[in-house]
Amino acid sequence: MKLMIASDIHGSAPCCGRMLDAFEREGAGRLLLLGDILYHGPRNDLPEGYAPKEVIAMLNPMKKKLLCVRGNCDTEVDQMVLDFPILADYCFLELADKTGGGEKAAVLFASHGHIYNPGHLPPLSDGDILLNGHTHIPACEEVTDADGSRIRYLNPGSVSIPKGGSCRGYMIFEDGTFIWKSLDGEEYMIWKTE
């Protein structure tokens, strides 16, 4: 299944709309949101078109296609107005074993990044993937845990408040490949799991 991954909408209705246009254009089966959906937080300026009620109205009809983890700006109050679960701190997705040899498939550990991140790794095995949002900066790098396991750290950047000179964007995962794209669909980075 083709999976779209996005993070840090922060209540921006125009950016959420562009993200959903990209979701439709990509033909992805599911959209994994890595948190910070409605509120901009005290450390960010108001994003362009800040309108959480409009974001709610756009996302609730998509509830059967959404997978979400909680960001540091997401609360129980937000959950009360959203029709899909957002309060899990993390989720695991097992990536398909492409070798056919019965080798262990990689695990993707998705969290917002304020609890588990490259500086505070969850218990993962060699070859697993840590997927975060939170920094608003796209990333694809290898990190090593205290036991010497090599973990791949990925970050799609931000839908609404890009930082570090990045663009508003998202990621696509399909057939063992992660592709970073701008909200306009322009590809700018790629990483293959094999």
Q: Residue 34 has what pLDDT?
A: 98
The class that CATH gives domain 3-192 is alpha beta
Q: Residue 104 has what pLDDT?
A: 65
Q: Quick one: pLDDT band at residue 106, thresholds 50, 70, 90?
A: confident
Domain ranges of the chain: 3-192
Q: Residue 161 has what pLDDT?
A: 97
Please state the φ and ψ torsions of residue 137, each to the nearest 5 degrees. -125, 120
Please state the φ and ψ torsions of residue 181, each to the nearest 5 degrees. -135, 150
Please compute the mean of the pLDDT values over residues 167-176 and round it to a whole number. 97
- Whether 100 shows a pLDDT value over 60: the answer reads no
Please compute the mean of the pLDDT values over residues 104-129 and round it to a whole number. 94
Between the alpha carbon of residue 20 and those of residues 6, 10, 38, 117, the distances in Å are 10, 15, 15, 27
Q: ∠141-142-146 over CA atoms, to 5°?
A: 140
Distance (Å, whole) CA 55 – CA 10: 9
Reference 35, options 152, 168, 155; nearest CA is 155
Distance (Å, whole) CA 97 – CA 104: 7
* Per-residue model confidence as pLDDT tens digits over 143-169: 999 999 999 999 999 999 999 999 999
